[in-house]
Amino acid sequence: MESKRQQKFAGVIQEDLAAIFQREGMSFLPNTLVTITKVRVTPDLALARIFLSFFNSANTQSALQTIKLHASEIRYKLGARIKDQVRIIPQLEFFIDDTSEYVERMDKIFDKISKEERQKESEE
């Protein structure tokens, strides 16, 4: 369970990173929209885990690798934005948020179950 402090700090990071990706994300990933879906911060606020979603990207793994290659530059830009609000700038870890893929997979499973039940009812 995250504390209020962690949640507030994660919100600040999410908002500022979103602005960074919106303004300067095209230099990292042209023609790709990067969305920050979730930010989790450790209790000591030294590490931030950022979950990203990519739109208009053929290969999300290569997009994630590109972001990871530019992580120090992104951290520097984040630090320039939040330096007056925090004592330390957290290390950034980037992950793919696969929630939408999970939801799609579950929908397909439920549809399949629903079709099987309808077929059984029609056979009886």
Q: Per the domain annotation, does 25 fall within a domain?
A: yes
Q: Per the domain annotation, does 37 fall within a domain?
A: yes
* Average pLDDT for 70-88: 92
Q: Per the domain annotation, does 54 fall within a domain?
A: yes
Domain total of the chain: 1
**Residue 78 and residue 20 in contact, taking contact as beta carbons nearer than 8 Å:** yes
Q: Per the domain annotation, does 92 fall within a domain?
A: yes
Q: pTM value?
A: 0.78
- The predicted structure's pLDDT at residue 124: 64
Q: Per the domain annotation, does 119 fall within a domain?
A: no
CATH of the domain at 28: 3.30.300.20
Range of the structural domain that residue 82 is part of:
4-98
pLDDT in tens, 23-53: 888 888 888 888 899 999 999 999 999 999 8
Q: Is the pLDDT of residue 71 over 90?
A: yes
